Amino acid sequence: MSRFIPNRAEHFEKMFRAIGVEGISDLLQSIPLKYQLKEDLDLPDPVSELELQREFEGYAGRNTGADKICFLGAGAYDHFIPAAVDHVLLRSEFYTAYTPYQAEVSQGTLQAVFEYQSMIARLTGMEAANASMYDGASAAAEACLMAMRVTRKQRILIAGSLNPRWADVVRTYLKRDDFEINEIPFLEDGTLDLSIAAKLIEGGTAAILVQYPSYFGLIEDLQPIADLIHEHKGLLIVAADPVALPLLRSPGDAGADIVVGEGQSMGIPMSYGGPYIGFMAARKKLARKMPGRIIGRTSDRADQVGYVLTLQTREQHIRREKATSNICSNQALMALANTVYLSLMGESGFREVSNQCFQKSHYLHQKLLEIPGVSSVFTDTPFFREFAVSFPVSSLEIHDGLMEEGILAGLPIVELGEGVMLITVTEKRTKEEMDLYVKSVSEICRGGGR
- Taking the C-alpha atoms of residue 123 and residue 251, their distance in angstroms, rounded to an integer, is 9
In the complex with another protein, the residue whose CB is nearer, 310 or 373, is: 310
Backbone angles phi, psi at 282, to 5 degrees: -155, 165
Q: Is 144 in the site for another protein (CB under 8 A)?
A: no
Planar angle of CA 107, 110, 113, nearest 5 degrees: 145
**Interface residue with another protein, options 204, 373, 382, 448 (CB under 8 A):** 382
> DSSP 3-state assignment of 208?
strand
Sign of CA dihedral 378, 78, 366, 352: positive
Toward another protein, which CB reaches closer, 90 or 202?
Answer: 90
From 9, 203, 304, 370, residue interacting with another protein (rule: CB under 8 A): 304
Where does this chain touch another protein (CB under 8 A) — which range of 173-181, 195-203, 368-376, 413-421? 173-181
- DSSP character string of 1-50: --TT----HHHHHHHHHHHT-SSHHHHTTTS-GGGS-SS----PPP--HH
Q: Contact at 8 Å (CB) between 298 and 307? A: yes
Which residues, 334 to 353, sit near another protein by CB under 8 A?
Answer: 334, 336, 339-340, 342-353
As measured in angstroms, the least distance from the Cβ of 357 to another protein is 11
Residue of 199, 319, 439, 450 interacting with another protein (CB under 8 A): 319
Q: How far apart are CA 137 and CA 258, in angstroms?
A: 14
Print the binding letters for residues 119-138 with another protein: x by CB under 8 A, - otherwise.
x-xxx---xxx-xx-xxxxx
- For 121-136, the DSSP string reads HHHHT-SEE-S-BS-H
Question: CB 229 → another protein: shortest distance, Å?
Answer: 19
> Which of 22, 31, 188, 450 is close enough to bind another protein by CB under 8 A?
31
146 binds another protein (CB under 8 A): no
**Residue 202 or 380: which CB sits closer to another protein?**
380
Q: Which amino acid is at 141?
A: A
| CA distances from residue 450 to 363, 389, 401 in whole angstroms, order as listed | 26, 17, 15
**Least distance in angstroms from the C-beta of 180 to another protein:** 14
Residue 262 in contact with another protein, rule: CB under 8 A: yes
Of 195, 202, 302, 370, the one binding another protein by CB under 8 A: 302
Question: Is 224 one of the binding residues for another protein (CB under 8 A)?
Answer: no
| Binding track, positions 234-253, relative to another protein; x by CB under 8 A | -----------xxxxxx--x
Total site size for another protein, rule CB under 8 A: 205
For position 12 contacting another protein by CB under 8 A, the verdict is yes
**Candidates 196-204, 229-237, 295-303, 439-447 — which segment interacts with another protein by CB under 8 A?**
295-303
255 binds another protein (CB under 8 A): no
In sign, the C-alpha dihedral spanning 113, 117, 119, 123 is positive
In the list 161, 191, 205, 331, the residue contacting another protein (rule: CB under 8 A) is 331
414 vs 27, 143, 404, 418, CA distance in Å? 60, 30, 22, 5
Q: Is 360 a residue that touches another protein (CB under 8 A)? A: yes
Q: Report 58-97 residues binding another protein (CB under 8 A).
A: 58-68, 70, 72, 74-76, 78, 80, 82, 84, 86-88, 90-97
Q: Compute the distance between CA of residue 54 and CA of residue 60 in angstroms, rounded to an integer.
A: 10
Residues 6 or more apart from 22 whose CB is under 8 A from it? 16
Strands 258-262, 235-240: parallel, antiparallel or unpaired by DSSP?
parallel
Site for another protein in 403-422 (CB under 8 A): 408, 411
